[in-house]
Amino acid sequence: MTDFFADFIDAVKTVPLIRYALLAGIVSSLTFGVVGSLVVVRQIGYVASAIAHSILGGIGASVYYSRIYDLPWLTPMLGAVAAALLSVAVIGWATLKFKEREDTIIGAIWAAGMAAGLLFLHYAPGKAVNLESFIFGNILLTSRSDVIATLVLGVIVMSLVALFYHKLVAVSFDEEFAGLRGVSSKAYYFLLLTLTALSVVLMVRVAGLILSQALLILPAATASRFSRSLWAIMAGAVAITAVANTAGLALSYQYDIPTGPFIVFLAVVFYALSFLLRRKRA
Protein backbone atom coordinates (compact mmCIF):
# COMPACT_ATOMS: atom_id res chain seq x y z
CA MET A 1 0.00 0.00 0.00
CA THR A 2 2.86 2.36 0.81
CA ASP A 3 4.45 1.66 -2.57
CA PHE A 4 1.09 2.33 -4.25
CA PHE A 5 0.78 5.81 -2.75
CA ALA A 6 4.48 6.52 -3.36
CA ASP A 7 4.12 5.61 -7.04
CA PHE A 8 1.07 7.82 -7.46
CA ILE A 9 2.71 10.77 -5.69
CA ASP A 10 5.77 10.38 -7.92
CA ALA A 11 3.47 10.36 -10.96
CA VAL A 12 1.78 13.56 -9.77
CA LYS A 13 5.17 15.22 -9.40
CA THR A 14 6.68 14.04 -12.68
CA VAL A 15 3.76 13.55 -15.13
CA PRO A 16 1.97 16.81 -16.03
CA LEU A 17 -1.17 15.01 -17.26
CA ILE A 18 -1.64 13.27 -13.90
CA ARG A 19 -0.98 16.51 -12.04
CA TYR A 20 -3.47 18.48 -14.15
CA ALA A 21 -6.07 15.72 -13.83
CA LEU A 22 -5.71 15.68 -10.04
CA LEU A 23 -5.98 19.47 -9.81
CA ALA A 24 -9.05 19.53 -12.05
CA GLY A 25 -10.68 16.77 -10.02
CA ILE A 26 -10.09 18.50 -6.69
CA VAL A 27 -11.14 21.95 -7.94
CA SER A 28 -14.30 20.63 -9.60
CA SER A 29 -15.29 18.59 -6.53
CA LEU A 30 -16.32 21.75 -4.71
CA THR A 31 -18.62 22.79 -7.55
CA PHE A 32 -20.06 19.30 -8.05
CA GLY A 33 -20.79 18.81 -4.36
CA VAL A 34 -22.46 22.17 -3.79
CA VAL A 35 -24.55 22.30 -6.96
CA GLY A 36 -25.31 18.58 -6.82
CA SER A 37 -26.81 19.06 -3.37
CA LEU A 38 -29.17 21.74 -4.70
CA VAL A 39 -30.11 19.48 -7.61
CA VAL A 40 -30.89 16.56 -5.29
CA VAL A 41 -32.93 18.70 -2.89
CA ARG A 42 -34.87 20.31 -5.77
CA GLN A 43 -35.26 16.89 -7.46
CA ILE A 44 -34.24 18.00 -10.95
CA GLY A 45 -31.77 15.24 -11.74
CA TYR A 46 -33.61 14.46 -14.98
CA VAL A 47 -33.09 18.07 -16.11
CA ALA A 48 -29.37 17.80 -15.37
CA SER A 49 -29.21 14.65 -17.47
CA ALA A 50 -30.96 16.36 -20.39
CA ILE A 51 -28.54 19.31 -20.23
CA ALA A 52 -25.57 16.92 -20.12
CA HIS A 53 -26.64 15.11 -23.27
CA SER A 54 -27.70 18.23 -25.15
CA ILE A 55 -24.29 19.89 -24.91
CA LEU A 56 -22.94 17.44 -27.48
CA GLY A 57 -24.67 19.73 -29.98
CA GLY A 58 -22.56 22.66 -28.82
CA ILE A 59 -19.39 20.59 -28.85
CA GLY A 60 -20.08 19.39 -32.39
CA ALA A 61 -20.98 22.87 -33.62
CA SER A 62 -17.81 24.37 -32.15
CA VAL A 63 -15.64 21.74 -33.84
CA TYR A 64 -17.45 22.16 -37.18
CA TYR A 65 -17.40 25.97 -37.34
CA SER A 66 -13.90 26.32 -35.90
CA ARG A 67 -12.59 24.15 -38.73
CA ILE A 68 -14.76 25.63 -41.48
CA TYR A 69 -13.98 29.27 -40.62
CA ASP A 70 -10.59 28.75 -38.93
CA LEU A 71 -11.67 29.96 -35.48
CA PRO A 72 -9.12 28.58 -33.00
CA TRP A 73 -10.80 30.41 -30.11
CA LEU A 74 -14.04 28.43 -30.67
CA THR A 75 -13.17 25.53 -28.37
CA PRO A 76 -15.38 22.54 -27.48
CA MET A 77 -15.75 23.87 -23.92
CA LEU A 78 -17.02 27.20 -25.22
CA GLY A 79 -19.49 25.38 -27.45
CA ALA A 80 -20.57 23.22 -24.52
CA VAL A 81 -21.23 26.29 -22.36
CA ALA A 82 -23.30 27.92 -25.12
CA ALA A 83 -25.36 24.76 -25.70
CA ALA A 84 -25.88 24.23 -21.97
CA LEU A 85 -27.16 27.78 -21.47
CA LEU A 86 -29.43 27.46 -24.53
CA SER A 87 -30.82 24.23 -23.09
CA VAL A 88 -31.43 25.97 -19.77
CA ALA A 89 -33.40 28.72 -21.50
CA VAL A 90 -35.57 26.24 -23.42
CA ILE A 91 -36.04 23.76 -20.56
CA GLY A 92 -36.77 26.49 -18.01
CA TRP A 93 -39.29 28.16 -20.27
CA ALA A 94 -40.95 24.88 -21.24
CA THR A 95 -41.07 23.67 -17.64
CA LEU A 96 -42.80 26.82 -16.43
CA LYS A 97 -45.15 27.18 -19.41
CA PHE A 98 -46.03 23.56 -20.29
CA LYS A 99 -45.80 21.57 -17.07
CA GLU A 100 -48.07 18.85 -18.33
CA ARG A 101 -45.62 18.08 -21.18
CA GLU A 102 -42.43 18.74 -19.27
CA ASP A 103 -40.94 15.25 -19.63
CA THR A 104 -41.62 15.14 -23.37
CA ILE A 105 -40.03 18.53 -24.03
CA ILE A 106 -36.98 17.68 -21.94
CA GLY A 107 -36.62 14.36 -23.77
CA ALA A 108 -36.82 16.17 -27.11
CA ILE A 109 -34.04 18.58 -26.11
CA TRP A 110 -31.95 15.64 -24.91
CA ALA A 111 -32.32 13.83 -28.26
CA ALA A 112 -31.98 16.97 -30.41
CA GLY A 113 -28.68 17.93 -28.77
CA MET A 114 -27.18 14.48 -29.22
CA ALA A 115 -28.37 14.21 -32.82
CA ALA A 116 -27.13 17.67 -33.77
CA GLY A 117 -23.74 17.03 -32.20
CA LEU A 118 -23.27 13.76 -34.06
CA LEU A 119 -24.22 15.40 -37.36
CA PHE A 120 -21.86 18.35 -36.84
CA LEU A 121 -18.99 16.03 -35.95
CA HIS A 122 -19.71 13.77 -38.93
CA TYR A 123 -19.48 16.65 -41.43
CA ALA A 124 -16.63 18.50 -39.72
CA PRO A 125 -13.61 18.56 -42.07
CA GLY A 126 -10.25 17.24 -41.02
CA LYS A 127 -9.33 14.53 -38.58
CA ALA A 128 -12.16 12.54 -37.02
CA VAL A 129 -13.00 13.57 -33.45
CA ASN A 130 -12.61 11.03 -30.67
CA LEU A 131 -16.22 10.83 -29.49
CA GLU A 132 -15.37 8.49 -26.64
CA SER A 133 -13.54 11.22 -24.73
CA PHE A 134 -16.67 13.39 -24.80
CA ILE A 135 -19.23 10.65 -24.19
CA PHE A 136 -17.40 8.77 -21.43
CA GLY A 137 -14.85 11.37 -20.36
CA ASN A 138 -11.10 11.15 -19.97
CA ILE A 139 -9.71 13.28 -17.17
CA LEU A 140 -6.20 12.21 -18.21
CA LEU A 141 -6.55 14.47 -21.26
CA THR A 142 -6.83 17.51 -18.99
CA SER A 143 -4.41 20.27 -19.95
CA ARG A 144 -3.19 23.34 -18.10
CA SER A 145 -5.75 25.47 -19.94
CA ASP A 146 -8.48 23.01 -18.91
CA VAL A 147 -7.47 23.41 -15.26
CA ILE A 148 -7.63 27.19 -15.61
CA ALA A 149 -11.04 26.99 -17.34
CA THR A 150 -12.28 24.63 -14.62
CA LEU A 151 -11.10 27.04 -11.94
CA VAL A 152 -12.71 30.05 -13.63
CA LEU A 153 -16.05 28.32 -14.12
CA GLY A 154 -15.87 26.96 -10.60
CA VAL A 155 -15.29 30.43 -9.16
CA ILE A 156 -18.24 31.79 -11.15
CA VAL A 157 -20.56 29.01 -9.95
CA MET A 158 -19.48 29.22 -6.31
CA SER A 159 -19.74 33.02 -6.32
CA LEU A 160 -23.33 32.83 -7.58
CA VAL A 161 -24.21 30.20 -4.98
CA ALA A 162 -22.69 32.27 -2.18
CA LEU A 163 -24.40 35.45 -3.38
CA PHE A 164 -27.87 33.92 -3.67
CA TYR A 165 -27.51 31.03 -1.19
CA HIS A 166 -30.56 31.70 1.00
CA LYS A 167 -32.89 32.31 -1.95
CA LEU A 168 -31.65 29.18 -3.73
CA VAL A 169 -32.24 27.17 -0.56
CA ALA A 170 -35.75 28.60 -0.20
CA VAL A 171 -36.66 27.79 -3.81
CA SER A 172 -35.12 24.32 -3.60
CA PHE A 173 -36.98 23.26 -0.44
CA ASP A 174 -40.34 25.03 -0.81
CA GLU A 175 -40.98 27.01 -3.97
CA GLU A 176 -44.49 28.11 -3.00
CA PHE A 177 -43.43 29.39 0.43
CA ALA A 178 -40.50 31.22 -1.16
CA GLY A 179 -42.95 32.94 -3.51
CA LEU A 180 -45.09 34.05 -0.58
CA ARG A 181 -41.99 35.60 1.02
CA GLY A 182 -41.40 37.70 -2.09
CA VAL A 183 -38.70 35.52 -3.66
CA SER A 184 -39.03 35.22 -7.44
CA SER A 185 -39.17 31.44 -7.70
CA LYS A 186 -39.01 31.51 -11.49
CA ALA A 187 -35.87 33.65 -11.59
CA TYR A 188 -34.04 31.51 -9.04
CA TYR A 189 -35.20 28.32 -10.72
CA PHE A 190 -33.50 29.59 -13.89
CA LEU A 191 -30.42 30.45 -11.83
CA LEU A 192 -30.33 26.92 -10.39
CA LEU A 193 -30.60 25.48 -13.90
CA THR A 194 -27.76 27.76 -15.02
CA LEU A 195 -25.55 26.59 -12.14
CA THR A 196 -26.40 23.00 -13.03
CA ALA A 197 -25.52 23.62 -16.68
CA LEU A 198 -22.11 25.09 -15.85
CA SER A 199 -21.39 22.21 -13.48
CA VAL A 200 -22.29 19.69 -16.16
CA VAL A 201 -19.87 21.39 -18.56
CA LEU A 202 -17.12 20.99 -15.96
CA MET A 203 -17.95 17.30 -15.70
CA VAL A 204 -17.57 16.49 -19.37
CA ARG A 205 -13.80 16.11 -19.08
CA VAL A 206 -14.09 13.98 -15.91
CA ALA A 207 -17.02 11.68 -16.58
CA GLY A 208 -18.31 12.49 -20.06
CA LEU A 209 -21.83 13.24 -21.23
CA ILE A 210 -23.29 9.87 -20.31
CA LEU A 211 -21.96 9.57 -16.76
CA SER A 212 -21.90 13.20 -15.65
CA GLN A 213 -25.37 13.06 -14.10
CA ALA A 214 -24.27 10.25 -11.80
CA LEU A 215 -21.25 12.19 -10.55
CA LEU A 216 -23.41 15.27 -9.96
CA ILE A 217 -26.16 13.44 -8.06
CA LEU A 218 -24.74 10.36 -6.33
CA PRO A 219 -22.34 12.07 -3.87
CA ALA A 220 -25.07 14.49 -2.80
CA ALA A 221 -27.61 11.66 -2.56
CA THR A 222 -25.13 9.70 -0.42
CA ALA A 223 -24.54 12.64 1.91
CA SER A 224 -28.27 13.34 2.19
CA ARG A 225 -28.80 9.92 3.74
CA PHE A 226 -26.92 11.05 6.84
CA SER A 227 -28.10 14.64 7.22
CA ARG A 228 -31.09 16.88 6.52
CA SER A 229 -29.11 20.11 6.81
CA LEU A 230 -28.22 21.49 3.39
CA TRP A 231 -24.81 22.82 4.42
CA ALA A 232 -23.92 19.38 5.86
CA ILE A 233 -25.12 17.66 2.68
CA MET A 234 -22.97 20.04 0.63
CA ALA A 235 -19.90 19.43 2.79
CA GLY A 236 -20.40 15.66 2.63
CA ALA A 237 -20.97 15.72 -1.13
CA VAL A 238 -17.80 17.76 -1.70
CA ALA A 239 -15.77 15.30 0.39
CA ILE A 240 -17.24 12.23 -1.33
CA THR A 241 -16.68 13.71 -4.79
CA ALA A 242 -13.08 14.63 -3.94
CA VAL A 243 -12.39 11.12 -2.62
CA ALA A 244 -13.99 9.50 -5.68
CA ASN A 245 -12.01 11.72 -8.06
CA THR A 246 -8.68 11.26 -6.29
CA ALA A 247 -9.03 7.54 -5.55
CA GLY A 248 -10.43 6.86 -9.01
CA LEU A 249 -7.52 8.66 -10.65
CA ALA A 250 -4.93 6.89 -8.48
CA LEU A 251 -6.40 3.40 -8.94
CA SER A 252 -7.02 3.83 -12.66
CA TYR A 253 -3.43 5.00 -13.13
CA GLN A 254 -2.04 2.05 -11.17
CA TYR A 255 -4.21 -0.65 -12.77
CA ASP A 256 -4.83 0.84 -16.23
CA ILE A 257 -8.60 1.27 -15.78
CA PRO A 258 -10.68 3.85 -17.73
CA THR A 259 -10.61 6.80 -15.35
CA GLY A 260 -13.98 8.54 -15.85
CA PRO A 261 -16.15 5.41 -15.62
CA PHE A 262 -14.14 4.18 -12.64
CA ILE A 263 -14.63 7.46 -10.77
CA VAL A 264 -18.38 7.15 -11.30
CA PHE A 265 -18.22 3.49 -10.24
CA LEU A 266 -16.66 4.55 -6.94
CA ALA A 267 -19.46 7.09 -6.46
CA VAL A 268 -21.96 4.27 -7.01
CA VAL A 269 -20.12 2.11 -4.45
CA PHE A 270 -20.23 4.90 -1.87
CA TYR A 271 -23.95 5.33 -2.49
CA ALA A 272 -24.57 1.59 -2.08
CA LEU A 273 -22.52 1.51 1.12
CA SER A 274 -24.62 4.35 2.53
CA PHE A 275 -27.61 1.99 2.67
CA LEU A 276 -25.64 -0.52 4.73
CA LEU A 277 -24.25 2.13 7.07
CA ARG A 278 -27.65 3.77 7.49
CA ARG A 279 -29.19 0.38 8.34
CA LYS A 280 -26.55 -0.30 10.99
CA ARG A 281 -27.13 3.10 12.56
CA ALA A 282 -30.88 2.47 12.62
**247-274 per-position pLDDT tens digit:** 988 888 888 888 888 888 999 999 999 8
The pTM is what? 0.85
The CATH number assigned to the domain with range 2-277 reads: 1.10.3470.10
Question: Are the C-beta atoms of residues 35 and 161 closer than 8 Å to each other?
Answer: yes
pLDDT tens for 14-68 read 888 888 888 888 888 888 899 999 989 888 888 888 888 889 999 999 999 999 9
Segment holding 271, helix H or strand E: helix 259-281
Q: How many Å apart are CA 280 and CA 239, to the nearest integer?
A: 22
Cβ atoms of 212 and 137 closer than 8 Å: yes
Question: For the chain, how far is it from start to end, CA to CA, in angstroms?
Answer: 33
